[in-house]
Amino acid sequence: MPIEQLKTGFGRGGKQLGCPTANLSSKDLGDLLEQLPTGIYCGWATVDGKGPYKAVASIGWNPFFKNKEKTVEPHLLHKFEKDFYGAQLKFLITGYIRPEMNFSSLEALIKAIQDDIAQSEEWLDTPEGKSWSHDALFQ
């Protein structure tokens, strides 16, 4: 799923959750966003042609925060020195982690995010998971 530009999000990924996200514009996704089932996914991403980097993404309504708009929010499993707002992101979904769900506390949400990251890392390190990092999308 190639996306032309990132947008500024709510600012909670990095600040509240310790998990900065590359928020994708729902306008750029068009009908694709409606077709994507909500949930947590893993995959590979490039930023301005650099990478690919491992990624985990939330697709959905983020019920804990009561979002009114369905979003795609990839978290790249790489330490970047600065924000990359306005950059071109290409994101390839390669695996499904779990359904979207609500949480009783911020701490429970953070724990689930940490588990999602660990599970994504594990899958993306398998031979099958790694093979997707060479997909034609990134050439």
Name the nearest CA neighbour of 44 among 32, 57, 33. 57
Return d(Cα 80, Cα 78) in angstroms, integer.
Answer: 6
Return d(Cα 132, Cα 30) in angstroms, integer.
Answer: 24
Residue holding tokens 């790489």? 78
107 assigned to active site: no
Catalytically annotated residue among 73, 100, 122, 128: 73
Find the helix or strand (DSSP H, E) in which 33 lies.
helix 31-35
User: What are the residue numbers of the active site?
Assistant: 73
